Amino acid sequence: MTPEPAGAVIRVAVADDQAVVRMGLRALIEREADLACVGEAADGVQALTLLKETRPDVLLLDIRMPGMDGVETLRAIAGDPELSGVRVVVVTTFAVDEYVFAALQAGASGFVLKDGAPDELVSAVRVVAAGEALLSPAITRKVIGMFGRHAGAAPVAGVERLTPRERELVAWVATGRSNEEIARELTISRDTVRTHVSRAMVKLHARDRAQLVVFAMRAGLAPPT
């Protein structure tokens, strides 16, 4: 374990089967004053043990690991009430991989690419720790495309309670755009977008913005083209 710096920090755990990747991720985390790496795991089983021992704010999770892979690990986290406070950022080399779609359904709050800029990963940790979701428009479009090939509309509890405006904004969320971007597209205030999206999340019992995207796709709320 690594001693944590003084003051409020975001506690981060790392799970990847490659030691060199874990080392790199730890180095990125430890160079930031507001982040602390609380431990590493080489597979899903180790990751679950680590999470229960350290209760980090964010887990950086490789999607492809031997034994219990990232998707199975995500499902185990989602099914354990004791780990409800852990947010998961999937770190992957596979931007077009169907694992990304499965990970989103299983509860991932964000995705970053291993070959992306270091600052993008650090930013992802902060965004997800703050309770937001990190779904780039590029990855979201690919996920929507995969969803269209593999599933049709399905009942989602609470959709019937959404107002027309809430349905519209949930569909916009499913494009991967931020509240600010949606506000610009619709020429409304960011606070208006945030209010309607927040109300929709409550009605749909969505854990976070990433899960709201899944619900939108399941319910057939088509994103604007």
Q: Which residue has the higher pLDDT, 14 or 155?
A: 14
pLDDT at 153 exceeding the cut of 60: no
Show the tokens assigned to 49: 């043990």
Q: How confident is the model at residue 175 (pLDDT cuts 50, 70, 90)?
A: confident
CA distance 31 to 156: 43
- Quickly tell me which residue has 């990190």 as its tokens: 134
**pLDDT by residue (tens digit) across 19-29?**
999 999 999 99
* pLDDT digits 0-9 by tens, 33-73: 999 999 999 999 999 999 999 999 999 999 888 889 899 99
pLDDT digits (tens, 9 = 90+) for 85-115: 899 998 877 655 567 777 877 888 888 878 7
Which 3 state secondary structure label does DSSP give 110? strand
Residues facing residue 40 across a β-bridge: 14
Cα distances (angstroms) measured from residue 102 to each of 64, 108, 130 = 12, 9, 23
Looking at the domain that runs over 10-134, which CATH code has it been given? 3.40.50.2300
- Structure tokens, 123: 């930013």
How long, in residues, is the chain?
A: 225
Q: So where are the chain's domains?
A: 10-134, 152-218
* Spatial distance between the Cα atoms of 58 and 51, rounded to a whole number of angstroms: 10
152-218, which class in CATH?
mainly alpha
Output the pTM of the full model.
Answer: 0.72
